[in-house]
Amino acid sequence: MGFLQIQGLGTVHYHQYGTGKKPMLAFHGYGMTGKQFRVLEQSILSDYSVYGFDHFFHGDSTLAGWTEKQIMAGMPKHLVKEYLEEWFKIYGRQRISLMAYSIGCNLALILLEEYPDLIDDVILMAPDGLGGYKGFTFLQHNTFGRFFFKTATKSKWLMPAILKTLKRFNNIDESLYTIAYNEIDTTKKRHDVFYTLNLIRFLQPDVEKVVSLINQHRIKTTFIFGHDDLLFPMKPVLHVINQIIDAEVHEVPMGHWLVTPALDMYLVNLPA
């Protein structure tokens, strides 16, 4: 493990694991930490040395002196570039790979925008950043949505009630309900959800630019989707994926909760 000190942002904590030699920077999903990808031991970790970063309000990453007003205004997109610049100061400027899951894919795709000439391959699992989730857009950018979100984080009953309603009308499945409920069952957790989604609300890649750069630099790109994922399914972003030359796409018999030993086995058993 280690830390990156990013001026104007704070301290970014990362976990290092894997037995391979190729460096891979990894960005986890909500409610997890940079250790999330450890379960991919027999597939990904045998080929790469992974540096898994904790998002802010997760793990041991901490913002330095940011006020609530600054958090609400959102983290400037250009600061994502500093993750890699500070990593280079420790490990040297070199070619890298990227891996990300869910909301972490936004950061990986922004780095791809900035460093396409240094990236060998990208693995994106249940990716946010290609098409977006309308619920997040409402909570992050709509005036009423932002007010409603803030109100809900102060209530002990409102957010659980919303989750139950979403589950009842099949907007989320049982696994997503369980995951989400476990992230809002205390006041601190509700505040962390609120602060996280506000902090990252402008960390959105330029999808058209990303597709162009992937094709121009022949970056090997792998997409993994859950067949039963109600949050970031494959179908709404196929029009983007189809523009990428030789994209490798997998739709596995799982929901949104993808990064598991079962996925490890799936990837190990893929034909060579």
Calculate the average pLDDT of the chain.
89
β-sheet bridge partners, residue 53: 14, 27
Q: What is the pLDDT of residue 194?
A: 84
Mean pLDDT of 210-237: 95
| Within a domain: 69 | yes
User: Is the pLDDT assigned to residue 89 strictly greater than 70?
Assistant: yes
| Within a domain: 98 | yes
**Which ranges constitute the DSSP H helices of the chain?**
68-73, 80-91, 104-114, 134-141, 143-153, 158-168, 174-182, 187-199, 207-217, 238-241, 261-268
Helix (H) or strand (E) holding 228: none
User: Is the pLDDT assigned to residue 180 strictly greater than 80?
Assistant: no
Locate 50 and state its tokens. Answer: 């992974």
pTM, whole model, 2 decimals? 0.88
* CA distance between the termini of the chain: 33
Buried b (16+ CB within 10 A) or exposed e, 10-28: bebbbbebbeeeebbbbbb
| Within a domain: 159 | no
Mean pLDDT check: name the lowest of 79-83, 116-120, 146-150, 253-257: 146-150
| Within a domain: 139 | no
- Domain total of the chain: 1
CATH number, residue 243: 3.40.50.1820
| Within a domain: 144 | no
| Within a domain: 166 | no
Mean pLDDT of 40-55: 96
Residues 6+ apart with CB under 8 A from 17: 35, 38, 45, 49, 50, 52
CA distances from 214 to 21, 109, 120, 237, 243 (A): 23, 10, 10, 16, 10
DSSP-assigned letters across all residues of 215-226: HHHT-EEEEEEE
Locate 171 and state its tokens. Answer: 């907007």
The range of the structural domain enclosing residue 36 comes to: 2-132+205-268
Mean pLDDT check: name the lowest of 50-59, 161-170, 238-247: 161-170
Rounded Cα distance between 53 and 61, Å, is 8
> CA 35, 240, 264: angle at the middle one, nearest 5?
30
| Within a domain: 157 | no
Locate 1 and state its tokens. Answer: 């493990």
Mean pLDDT of 245-269: 95
Rounded Cα distance between 248 and 122, Å, is 10
User: Is the pLDDT assigned to residue 175 strictly greater than 90?
Assistant: no
User: Is the pLDDT assigned to residue 145 strictly greater than 70?
Assistant: no
User: Is the pLDDT assigned to residue 15 strictly greater than 80?
Assistant: yes
| Within a domain: 23 | yes
